[in-house]
Structure 1
Amino acid sequence: MSRALRCLLCFLVLCVFTGASAQAPAQRAVVVLEVDGAIGPASEDYLHRGLALAQREHAQLLVLQLDTPGGLDTAMRGMIKDILSSSVPVATFVAPGGARAASAGTYILYASHVAAMTPASTLGAATPVAIGLPSGGGTAPRPAASAPFPSASGPSAAEAGDALAAKRISDAAAYIRGLAQLRGRNADWAEKAVRDAASLSAPEAIQLKVVDLVATDVPDLLQKLDGRELQMGATVQRLQTRGAPVVAFDQDWRSRLLSVITNPSLALLLMMAGVYGLAFEFSSPGLVAPGVIGAICLVLALFSLHMLPVNYAGLALILLGIAFLVAEAYLPTFGVVGFGGIVAFAFGCVMLIDSDSPGYGIPLPFIAVLTAASAAFLLIVGGLAVRTRRRPVVTGPQTLVGAGGELVEYAGGTGWAVVQGEHWRVRGPDQLHAGDRVRVHGLHDGVLEIVPL
């Protein structure tokens, strides 16, 4: 009897533990993304899809491993909006060793629920830059207390540029200060990073409470985040990252293609190929291949330029320059239109991208190569056009000029002659007679003008 009772008790204990283990929720995963390079449309799309994956998988955390020199303001703000509206907390981790979160990366770091760095990483230098504005370093200029009021004629160009720079810096400083206050981080240093382009190493960032922790790699980061509580709206979420399954969301072909297409240099090259391809097709209908390739390149270029901060004056100059170069091949302007096209094209390339953000400028050597290629195109096509004009006519009535023939009927300066086996109406000197040998001197209104041989 006692043995049966012991067996029953063991069975009940086993059932209790089995039920408890079956009811224990599985540990939620951690999604890891990696952004290495300039912040742009591809980075924004990558993070957006990564957050969507994290929400579908009910992940407890998304880790964004970041190494960037900066990037486009529009893409950065789009990424920050996604982070702020995400139901999954985001930990931005400046890694691996030697990585940096400069410029736009600093804003993203401040916007994240968790900010972490590796020991040999840096952040800062968050001063906004753009064409025509100071590209870093200085504090936004402030007028002296004794400075006179502007004249009635308006501010000078330099004053207008300083005012615009001050407005951009003040807006950026307020933006990053708001992010710092939202996450409880050092707002004063954040504003200093914008106004004075200040930078910090990882130990300094910890000391000044700019970031939350320092970790050597992602596993170490997850170990240190275990048990941390994060404010997610009106609720508090406790992380259980020790031993959590890690889901690596690598950049796929879509992200890589978007990253390549939104390269300003490639966008410019695609636009040139598209315009030149269509120009060849229109000048020589029926070739098909130049038109098809040109149309595809032009559509890709337009998509790329739509994603980039384009200066439309620069774009107009490029198109005008290409149009002049194509026109030079068909108009006898002795190079005037072609030279103007080269100048317009070069200035347009310099002005095309309206940003000095790292990774989004068009290198001057690349512009020089494209300009030289356009000039070579002008010389080659122009030379072919001149050679074509000088080539003797091989078809039509003009081929009869210089040919010999024999008069079959002739009186009063007009008559008929056989030239190259055909009867032609002719006109010439009165002293000629039927049977005389003649040479065709010209053609006018379908009548051959002849002279005696």
Structure 2
Amino acid sequence: MEQTGRAGVLLLLCFLTLTAVIPAVQAEPDQNHGGAVYWIPLDQEVEQGLTRFLERGFREAQQAGAEAIVLEMDTLGGDVAAALEIGKLLRSSKIPVTVYIKGEAISAGSYIALNADHILMAPGSAMGAAEPRTITGERADPKTVAFWTSNMRAAAEVHGRDPEIAAGMVERNLEIKGLKKKGELLSLSAGQAIQQKMADRMVKGDADVLRFVGAHSSDVIRVDQTLSEQVARFVTSPYVIPVLFMVGLAGLAIEFLTPGFGLPGFIGLGAFGLYFFGHYLAGLAGVETFVLFAAGLILLLIEIFVPGFGIFGILGLLSLAASVVAAAADRMFSLSTLVVALLLTVVGMVIAVRQLGLRGGLKRFVLNSVQENTTGYVTQPGRRELIGKQGKALSPLRPAGTAAIEGKRVDVVSEGGFIPPHTPVKVVDVQGLRVVVRALSVQDGTDSGSR
């Protein structure tokens, strides 16, 4: 099992290393394309990995002197912070940006679209419903809603679109006569968006999009995601991060509860390694996060093997938490997720210990050995039967020494003062393993203490 675990981790490390070291296979700008159109997909979830991918695509388009950028959009939204960065990228672009909504532009997708110079929509597509929500699906607090509403208004105003309609996609309490009732969220079909001048035109396919931007199919340079960008997008997803934390902590906890170091420990370390590596590829984590994580692990190991009154353990946990937070785009989200995952792991460890008993690393903290006769441990038998027996001191009793009682050598203590060797003695008391003797008269063998 341990060999299988090591092999799996080696393969994982090789995979991560290759995605970082091998140069990304990118679309080389064709210097002969004077009217090049860069066609970039904007699909699935909006997160920080997508931001870095779009930044690369815009950078390549700028270097190639492209005449237009087309973002083919189909997304249900995602991270607000990532959407704000992408919106800023679109507004600052010197190359005209056209968003082609081929499927959905919901939530963060609608905000990104409003920042484009032009919006084209395919039949059956829609945009809107941009109310911010938490990771659990609950409505965001009023402060966040107000912030997001103002950003939607601003994005619409930049290109002469109706800011009230943009705000209606976020604000439930806003009423727009003939279009939106109070208490509802606004979502526009392709026809409605064009009628309300929130979109420029309805297009039936890629050819119509190219005609709109004045280009031919030979002018198109498609920008695809590299393997490292795909990994970064996957790892930075707010739905994947909690899973990585749970797997990482659970793997290390199982390893701590079981003897040796095997597959669970490798999986736990691999989950945290994937988290840091993905954020590193997304440009969110630096070398310092890896240093903090390694320092945290070392401090925890020191706490296990070297008594430190918990100081090393506390510092180790703080270092691990700091590394996770430092690598995150949304630090509060990552910190809260890590705390929840840690609490669940502790509960799981308690249940495992109660059900399965102590194993592995926890054994060193608990004395669980039992001294039994079968293992060679024999307790000292009681010696109350010696009371009243007589013998002779073999050594001076000052007051401890040895005496021969009925032919057996016994460790004794005199009742009073000094008793010379060869003096007759009598056992007068036994207190546990302590045998108390009194000197007898040499002439008649009577108790010297009775005179």
TM-score (norm 2): 0.56
Q: Number of residue pairs matched?
A: 302
- The secondary structure found in structure 2 opposite 1:171 is helix
Query: Partner of 2:151 in structure 1?
Result: 175
For residue 116 of structure 1, report the CA deviation from its aligned partner.
Answer: 0.8
Matched, 1:209 2:185: no
Q: 1:269 to 1:66 in 2, by over 3 A?
A: same
Measure, in 2, the Cα distance between the counterparts of 1:246 and 1:132. 40
Query: Partner of 1:200 in structure 2?
Result: 188
Please tell me the root mean square deviation across aligned C-alpha atoms, in Å: 4.3
Matched, 1:126 2:102: no
- The secondary structure found in structure 2 opposite 1:307 is coil
Amino acid at match of 2:130: A
Amino acid at match of 1:35: L
For residue 127 of structure 1, report the CA deviation from its aligned partner.
Answer: 1.9
Q: What is the aligned counterpart of 1:83 among 68, 90, 96?
A: 90
What is the identity percentage for the equivalent residue pairs of Structure 1 and Structure 2? 27
- The secondary structure found in structure 2 opposite 1:128 is coil
Query: Partner of 1:69 in structure 2?
Result: 76
Answer yes or no: is the 8 Å Cα contact 2:131–2:139 preserved in 1: yes
For residue 383 of structure 1, report the CA deviation from its aligned partner.
Answer: 8.5
- The secondary structure found in structure 2 opposite 1:195 is coil
Answer yes or no: is the 8 Å Cα contact 1:27–1:244 preserved in 2: no
For residue 77 of structure 1, report the CA deviation from its aligned partner.
Answer: 0.3
Measure, in 2, the Cα distance between the counterparts of 1:398 and 1:250. 71
For residue 76 of structure 1, report the CA deviation from its aligned partner.
Answer: 0.2
For residue 129 of structure 1, report the CA deviation from its aligned partner.
Answer: 2.5
Measure, in 1, the Cα distance between the counterparts of 2:186 and 2:348. 47
Aligned residue runs from structure 1 range 46-445, under 5 A = 46-95=53-102, 99-130=103-134, 135=139, 164-165=141-142, 167-196=143-172, 197-226=185-214, 241-279=215-253, 287=261, 291-301=265-275, 303=279, 306-308=328-330, 310-311=332-333, 312-323=335-346, 325-326=348-349, 338=350, 375=351, 379-380=355-356, 399-401=375-377
Q: 1:223 to 1:377 in 2, by over 3 A?
A: farther
Amino acid at match of 1:182: V
Query: Partner of 2:400 in structure 1?
Result: none
Bigger Rg over Cα: 2
Answer yes or no: is the 8 Å Cα contact 2:68–2:213 preserved in 1: no
TM-score (norm 1): 0.56
Amino acid at match of 1:256: Q
Q: 1:36 to 1:289 in 2, by over 3 A?
A: same
Answer yes or no: is the 8 Å Cα contact 1:30–1:244 preserved in 2: no
Measure, in 2, the Cα distance between the counterparts of 1:266 and 1:393. 50
Answer yes or no: is the 8 Å Cα contact 2:259–2:359 preserved in 1: no
Q: 1:182 to 1:296 in 2, by over 3 A?
A: same
Deviations 1:234-286 (A, max 9, x none): xxxxxxx2455111111221221112212445433332333344445556786
Answer yes or no: is the 8 Å Cα contact 2:129–2:169 preserved in 1: yes
Unaligned runs of 5+ in 2: 1-31, 173-184, 280-323, 380-389, 392-404, 410-432, 434-451
Measure, in 1, the Cα distance between the counterparts of 2:75 and 2:82. 13
Measure, in 1, the Cα distance between the counterparts of 2:159 and 2:85. 18
Q: 1:433 to 1:325 in 2, by over 3 A?
A: farther
Measure, in 2, the Cα distance between the counterparts of 1:260 and 1:39. 11
For residue 398 of structure 1, report the CA deviation from its aligned partner.
Answer: 7.9
Amino acid at match of 1:128: P
Deviations 1:21-41 (A, max 9, x none): xxxx85421111112212111
For residue 313 of structure 1, report the CA deviation from its aligned partner.
Answer: 4.2
Unaligned runs of 5+ in 1: 1-24, 137-163, 227-240, 327-337, 339-374, 404-410, 413-429, 435-448
Amino acid at match of 2:71: L
For residue 399 of structure 1, report the CA deviation from its aligned partner.
Answer: 1.9
- The secondary structure found in structure 2 opposite 1:221 is helix
Q: 1:379 to 1:56 in 2, by over 3 A?
A: farther
